[in-house]
Amino acid sequence: MRVHAQRAGALLGGLMFPAVSLADWTLNMTPGVTGTSNEIFSLHMIILWICVAIGVVVFGVMFWSIFAHRKSQGYKPANFHENTLVEILWTIIPFVILVVMAIPATATLVDMYDTTESDVDIKVTGYQWKWQYEYIDEDFGYFSNLSTPRDQINNRQAKGKNYLLEVDNPLIIPVGKKVRFLVTANDVIHSWWVPAFGVKKDAIPGFINETWTRVDEPGTYRGQCTELCGKDHGFMPVVVKAVPQEEYDTWVAEQKVAAEKERELTQKDWTMAELMERGEKAYQTACAACHQADGSGAPPAFPALKGSKIAIEDMAAHIDIVVNGKSGTAMQAFGNQLSEVDLAAVITYERNAWGNNTGEMVTPKEIFDYKNEQ
Ligand SMILES: [Cu+2]
């Protein structure tokens, strides 16, 4: 009740003293930072003012007519049917208004759908519950996971400034360049949305939707998945960092070197301790959402891995379910989502953590061979 009273008070205050509270009480949409978002914003304003003008004229005439011709003034109601002139007017005027509104709206839509002549192409894939970004012309890609600590989510820690709007690896794009996004999904329908860009595109398995943006101001822009996609729908934010071209070029070069290093790591001889350390990290980012940090799962939906038959006995089945997933369940195929090193590490981790002390390890090479045999 008190909260409601406070909010009502704030609203009333806001209406009475707009200047004072405008800073944190904005009723209007925000114009965003791209050409498209600004076009959408001005379209919204034009249409809004057309509606306001129509409202003022229609209600003005109506209230004035009612008032000026009231019964106490001795007016007698007219009693006629069909007036061709009036009927033609009230058809033509709205028609003209609609056409006037459709012209700028169509121009904006045509512009939004024009994905030609892009400078950078990025494939965006929605997963339960993260985004994958692949730089098509550059031959590398990565996953972008929520980075808000579980302790904040579970109210064991105060919530941070960008609570649920922060990720480990943001999408990096150059400023002033046309960036084309090819949007799709791997499991269920998601939707990639960055309000400041005026970009929102459904990510549908089996389809590729295109959209684009050009950001002129360097900065960090945040958005969210905006299609109800399951349990952690609210936990797959979008973070885009627009950086100057030189910075972007350096970053791309680094990513390519890192991707090459990762491929080399597959051939290295790994020790148990190294795999366990890496496996724990990979497990916390990729698996803990369902199987929990301590491997206890959330049965019956998500099985426990601690003491699970697959995790302590059948090694082949263990590799198979992690690499290929299990169709028809939430257990997705991680074969393409994680590197060979991370796959080997996470499987080794599961076979030895939480008292699953099998002492067995899987090497990245074995995973590499396993994948190639398929
Ligand atoms: Cu989603």
- Cα–Cα dist 248/232, whole Å: 31
The contacts of residue 363 (CB under 8 Å, 6+ apart) are: 269, 270, 275, 344
Average pLDDT over residues 335-353: 92
The domains found in the chain, sorted by start residue, are 35-72+82-112 (no CATH), 120-262 (2.60.40.420), 268-373 (1.10.760.10)
SS3 312: helix
Average pLDDT over residues 365-369: 90
Cα of 224 from ligand 1 centre, angstroms: 8
Q: Residues 219-238: pLDDT tens digits?
A: 999 999 999 999 899 999 99
Residue of 361, 341, 365, 337 whose CA lies nearest to 349: 361
Q: Can you give the pLDDT at residue 21?
A: 46
Cα of 227 from ligand 1 centre, angstroms: 6
CA torsion through residues 67, 68, 69, 70, sign: positive
- Cα–Cα dist 40/213, whole Å: 13
Cα of 125 from ligand 1 centre, angstroms: 10
Give the model's confidence band at 100: pLDDT under 50 very low, under 70 low, under 90 confident, else very high: very high
DSSP secondary structure of 100-168: HHHHHHHHHHHHHH---S-SEEEEEEEETTEEEEEETTTTEEEEE-B-S-HHHHTTSS---TTTTS-BS
Q: Could you tell me the two tokens for 35?
A: 């050409």
Q: Residues 4-49: pLDDT tens digits?
A: 555 554 444 444 444 444 456 778 888 999 999 999 999 999 999 9
Cα of 202 from ligand 1 centre, angstroms: 10
Cα of 175 from ligand 1 centre, angstroms: 26
Cα of 31 from ligand 1 centre, angstroms: 25
What is the spatial order of strands in the sheet that 120-127 belongs to?
Answer: 140-144, 130-135, 120-127, 179-185, 209-213
Cα of 225 from ligand 1 centre, angstroms: 5
Give the model's confidence band at 3: pLDDT under 50 very low, under 70 low, under 90 confident, else very high: very low
Q: Residues 237-288: pLDDT tens digits?
A: 999 999 999 999 999 999 999 888 888 888 888 899 999 999 999 999 899 9
Q: Can you give the pLDDT at residue 188?
A: 93
Cα of 126 from ligand 1 centre, angstroms: 6
Tell me the residues surrounding ligand 1 (ion) with CB < 5 Å: 190, 225, 229
- Cα–Cα dist 271/200, whole Å: 45
Helices 272-286 and 340-352: angle between axes, nearest 10 degrees: 100
For tokens 């301790």, what's the residue? Answer: 273
Residue of 280, 363, 370 whose CA lies nearest to 321: 370
Task: Write out the H or E segment, with its range, that includes residue 313.
Answer: none
The helix, strand and coil proportions of the chain, stated in percent and rounded to the nearest 5, come to 45, 15, 35
Count of other CB atoms within 10 angstroms of residue 366: 16
> End-to-end alpha-carbon separation of the chain, Å?
61
Q: Which range scores top for mean pLDDT: 22-36, 110-124, 326-340?
A: 110-124
Mean pLDDT computed over every residue of the chain: 90
Cα of 303 from ligand 1 centre, angstroms: 22
Cα of 306 from ligand 1 centre, angstroms: 28
Average pLDDT over residues 281-305: 92
DSSP secondary structure of 247-301: HHHHHHHHHHHHHHHHHHHTTS---HHHHHHHHHHHHHHHTHHHH-TTS--BTTT
CB-based contact 302:291 (threshold 8 Å): yes
pLDDT beyond 80 at 138: yes
Count of other CB atoms within 10 angstroms of residue 253: 11
Q: Can you give the pLDDT at residue 261?
A: 85
116 exposure class (CB count in 10 Å sphere: 0-12, 13-18, 19+): exposed
Cα of 277 from ligand 1 centre, angstroms: 29
Residue of 308, 287, 320, 322 whose CA lies nearest to 351: 308
CB-based contact 287:338 (threshold 8 Å): no
The string over 263-285, giving b where at least 16 C-beta atoms fall within 10 Å of a residue's C-beta and e elsewhere, is eeebeeebeeeebbebbbebbeb
Q: Could you tell me the two tokens for 186?
A: 């791997």
Phi, psi of 52 (to 5 degrees): -60, -45
Q: Can you give the pLDDT at residue 23?
A: 54
